Structure 1
Amino acid sequence: MTMSGTGSEDREESGPTSTPPHSGHRPSPIFLALVGGAIVSGWALWSGIGPPAIMSFVFVLLFWIVSLSLHEFAHALVAYRNGDVSVVHRGYLTLDPLRYTHVVYSLVLPLVFLIAGGIGLPGGAVFINRAAIRTRFATSAVSAAGPLTNLAIALVLALALGFRQGTSPFWFTLSFLLFLQVTAAVLNLLPVPGLDGFGIIEPYLSDRALAAVAPIAPFAIFGLFALLWVPAINAAFFTAIIGLTSFLGVPSVFVGSGFALFRFWI
């Protein structure tokens, strides 16, 4: 997700407490540790070391946080390439998930929807100084970069799944991870205030349209999630997502088995 910043915020971030320029582009130790943990847990799942359900749960959580960091990094990188240097001072180019933390969007909603419903929602937030972005197209590209990253990860997972032989907890878990990436991309591309889809079209909306949307914007995303709990809408949404994962060559039974492994407590 992207959020608008202001010029004054950028000046504050460039003070003594800002991220040193020489380290503003390096992957953070936290991100590298998460990648390492995802690799180790994925290898353990592949090798049959430890309880499969526990290993699956750990692998999914770590992989999900890594993908969240990549999603938000993509927003920041495109913003940086198009004139917003504030993302360097805020540490967004370090891939540190703690830099993208927003209490509601980063912690509460993603965990609730991932654990309770298996819905993948990138929960980070990067503050972009939109006044520094050079063109409307570039502003749209900043918002589009996140969900396109999820789609790219989904395609990589689909490629890996294309080499599967037989069935195993590892392949089931990889299938569920692909499902989460597709879900995240589709949700974020919806033109709802607070999601990247709205950020893509926002630069082309009139001031009158933006003023009309402003009163409901802070609550629109919650309304969307409330709709997803309506059985008919929920069924239609997940049918569409399963259709996309099937198009990528992943059987729905694999996704269901991966979801069941992830929720080991049920």
Structure 2
Amino acid sequence: MTTHTSRHSDRRISPVFLGIVAVMAVTGWAVWTDFAAVPGVAVFLFVTSAWIVSLCLHEYAHARTALHGGDISIGAKGYLTLNPLKYTHALLSIVLPVVFVIMGGIGLPGGAVFIERGRIQGRWKHSVISAAGPLTNALFAVVCTAPFWLDALDGVPVVFRFALAFLALLQVTAAILNFLPVPGLDGYGVIEPWLSHGVRRQVEPFAPFGLLAVFGLLFVPEVNHAFFDMIDAILRGLGVSGSETYCGQDFYRFWQTSDLCESVLNR
């Protein structure tokens, strides 16, 4: 009986996560109804809370697939509760991604939950566990852009549409960056089980610096332009225009909203 209760509590959704979802719902309603005096504040809170929800789902996907892959220690660590405070690297998983969204509008890959890989047998299982996180971001992007590619925007308030477009941009960037085959990122985790032991040992020391190297490259203008051109192409394929993502980011940064996007509200 005690064991059963313990296992049930390991899977109970955290009140912290439910609180973040509540903030997302209330601020989403405020954006939809134009309830807020300053629309940008509501957009900021809605997108930030939705982004945190997606980060929690990203880490949950890793944890859940690891549990089914054989790591039965996952539940005791609290990863199945969707509580962001339970992650091994709360700073990397939650705080830094939010800071990067505020600063640069980039979906920073979060840190990883601690998985006891020795408990998991089979290379495919290891690859699926690593891929589960960024695939969750990709699915989140598809959901955010559904009104666009379904041509169902009639009746969707313009500012809410902009907020969805910017949120979709964050999800796409997170998925793409995470899938890069760079040590320390999920993309490398997908291919790592298929590499020889010697190669893995040589690459291992560079894992802590992989993410830093990627963002260092993004500061190179040519790389940055090529990267965001690719992101824009993906979003256009999902029916989202560059002007919509631009205005979404503009409203998100409510402290510096431009006259161009503000004028859309006055039409």
Give the TM-score normalised by the residue count of structure 1.
0.89
1:231 to 196, 221, 224: 221
Q: 1, 22, 31: which one pairs with 2:17?
A: 31
CA offsets 1:71-94 (integer angstroms, 9 cap, x no match): 100000000011101110001111
**Deviation of the 1:121 alpha carbon:** 1.7
Displacement of 1:122 in angstroms is 3.5
Equivalent position SS for 2:254:
coil
**Separation in structure 1 between the aligned mates of residue 121 and residue 88 of structure 2, nearest angstrom:** 26
Q: Say whether residues 1:74 and 2:64 are aligned partners.
A: no
- The residue number in structure 2 matching 1:49 is 35
1:164 equivalent to 2:150? Answer no
Higher helix share: 2
5 Å matches for 1:77-226?
Answer: 77-100=64-87, 102=89, 104-107=91-94, 109-161=96-148, 162-165=151-154, 168-226=158-216
1:157/1:107 Cα in 2 relative to 1: closer, same or farther (>3 Å)?
closer
Distance in 2 between residues matched to 1:134 and 1:215, nearest whole Å? 24
Shift of 1:102: 1.4
The answer to whether the Cα contact below 8 Å between 1:102 and 1:125 also exists between their aligned partners in 2 is yes
**Where in structure 1 are there 5+ consecutive unaligned residues?**
1-18
Instruction: Return the letter of the residue paired with 2:153.
Output: R
Give the structure 2 partner of residue 255 of structure 1: 245
What code does the residue aligned with 2:217 have?
Answer: L
RMSD: 1.7
Instruction: Name the CA distance, whole Å, in 1 between partners of 2:221 and 2:242.
Output: 19
Any gaps of 5 or more consecutive residues in structure 2? 257-267
Q: Shift of residue 112 of structure 1?
A: 3.6
Paired residue type of 2:191? I
Quote the sequence identity (%).
50
**Cα distance 1:205–1:243, how it changes in 2: closer, same or farther (>3 A)?**
same
Distance in structure 1 (CA, Å) of the matches to 2:59 and 2:9: 18
| Matched residue type, 1:84 | D
Higher mean displacement: 44-53 or 215-224: 215-224
Native 8 Å contact 1:71 1:122 kept in 2: no
Q: Give the whole-Å Cα distance in 2 for the aligned partners of 1:233 and 1:52.
A: 33
Letter in 1 for 2:236: S
Asked if the contact 1:71–1:147 (Cα under 8 Å) also holds between the matched residues in 2, the reply is yes
Q: Which has the higher contact order (CA 8 A, sep 6+)?
A: 1
Q: Would the alpha carbon gap of residues 115 and 85 (structure 1) be closer, same or farther in structure 2, given more than 3 Å must change?
A: same
SS, match of residue 114 in structure 2? strand
Q: Deviations over 1:47-66 (max 9, x none)?
A: 00111100000001100010
